[in-house]
Amino acid sequence: MDIPKCDAALQQALKEPRPKQLVEAINTFLKKKKASTSSSNDDPTHLEFICLDCKSEGVEGKARAFFASPPAIVLCANRLNTTEDVKEVVVHELIHAYDYTVRNMDLTQPAVLACSEVRSARESECFEKAQALCKDPQLSMVLHGCDWWVKKCVKQNAIHATSVSATSMSSSPTLLRMP
């Protein structure tokens, strides 16, 4: 996907109810935080979104998107193919942004990042699929029930997400042992 198409897909994704609600919560928190502290005028009052072509090394690595400072969500246009891809990564990264800003989670800590990855996978990669599967009684029976499938999906996605940076967090997959 080129950058203009990414920007257009991003604007479309941000109109969806779930991303819109998360952005509003994060921006409200940032504005209140800035108003209540006498800290630097450089403190952000809103979450930024950026589409760009990502490199294959560094923090960008193989990611389709990532959360960065000040807070910002960077979408890797060259790794996204469809509007659905953009919607999925926007929700995923918004969960990280919420965890970092509102919940004050230190995402540099492997155990904390693992927790955030579980939440992000549950609310993005696995959410739409679970909605479809859970509504179809025949599919739900074949997959031994919805809960089982959701747990498996979340675990696989969270392990994959944390293992991408395995060089700095070699223990992260073991942090995600779920029943």
Question: At residue 3, does pLDDT exceed 80?
Answer: yes
Q: Tokens 């549950």 correspond to what residue?
A: 122
* 40 plus 95 within the same structural domain: yes
* 57 plus 144 within the same structural domain: no
What number is the average pLDDT over the span 46-52? 96
* 156 plus 115 within the same structural domain: yes
With 0.95 as the threshold, say if the pTM is over it.
Answer: no
* 67 plus 99 within the same structural domain: yes
Q: Report the alpha-carbon distance of residue 56 to residue 90 in Å, rounded.
A: 20
The residue segments making up the domain with residue 139 are 106-179
Give the residue, 74 or 34, on which the prediction is more confident: 74
Give the distance between the most distant pair of CA atoms in the chain.
58
| Least confident stretch, 54-63, 96-105, 118-127, 164-173 | 164-173
pLDDT value at residue 8: 98
